[in-house]
Amino acid sequence: MATKIPPIIKPAELATLMQQKKVVIIDARVGPQVKETYAASHLAGARFVDIETELARPKKEPAQGGRHPLPYLEQFAQLLQRLGISPDSHVVVYDDKNGANAAARFWWMLRAIGHQAVQVLDGGYQAAITAGIPTYSGEEVPATTSIYPVKEWLLPTVDIHQVEKAVQDSDFLVIDVRDAERYRGEKEPIDLIAGHIPGAVNIPFSKNLDSNGFFLKPDELKHTYKQALENRNAKQVIVHCGSGITACHTLLAMDHAGMEIPGLYVGSWGEWSRTDRPIATGAKP
């Protein structure tokens, strides 16, 4: 495996890598007709990945694993082969949501199989355009590679039963990274019921970014999360969101801050809110 590198890369740094032709770029944008959007314009050389069908294994019933459960390891290995990613690849992934959508999820998934040389583009697609990184249209055909050797998810994940126990134990901290309005139960644009897991604290993922949409400096992020964690270690911390996607943005931020990566509750609110478990509203006392 390649040596671990900083998890965030600036557009200027990516431009240098592209000149050296030593990078695999992944376009992880989402939205209506996203494949058409990608085909119309993407960063030069970028290969498209679909959050709905490739970075998740949706089930008919989100009450069993949430809206974006992880794909089977065999499926992920096949995806990496299609993308031309091998264990020695340097991967840079971007989206158009400052890493808060599929970019951070793809970063987490690669790190979770032991791949260290993967970075998220700071500022995303628009920052790259502003920096003058060239774009192409049409499809990108990666070089053929052998299937990626994948054995297990190495980063910690937790299930709904572990979360249920954790919120009743003061030694643990459950962090909800959704917007404050969703956490308080004032609105819920996606899931069926508004509110939050009783006992969870709210640290919106947007607090990881400055006013221009770039990640805060590592020391600033470390200060925020060290305060929230108090004396807890990563094994005592669980991070979740609505469907296990934007939670990865906070895991990315904590890694950027030089902290150990906590557990990811993949099922997140999409699962919890559909299982007749207790639901809280309002701000946490």
Give the residue numbers annotated as catalytic, written as ranges.
241
Name the residue type at position 232.
Answer: R
Residue 119 has a CB neighbour count (10 Å cut-off) of 24
Please check whether residue 123 is in contact with residue 11, taking contact to mean a CB–CB distance below 8 angstroms. Answer: yes
Q: How far is CA 216 from the centre of its chain?
A: 17
Distance CA 178, CA 206 (A): 9
Distance CA 207, CA 254 (A): 12
Please check whether residue 83 is in contact with residue 47, taking contact to mean a CB–CB distance below 8 angstroms. Answer: yes
Closest listed residue to residue 79, CA positions, set 103, 56, 54: 54
Q: Helices 247-256 & 102-112, crossing angle to 10 degrees?
A: 60
Closest listed residue to residue 200, CA positions, set 268, 246, 101: 268
DSSP for 72-93 reads PHHHHHHHHHHHT--TT--EEE
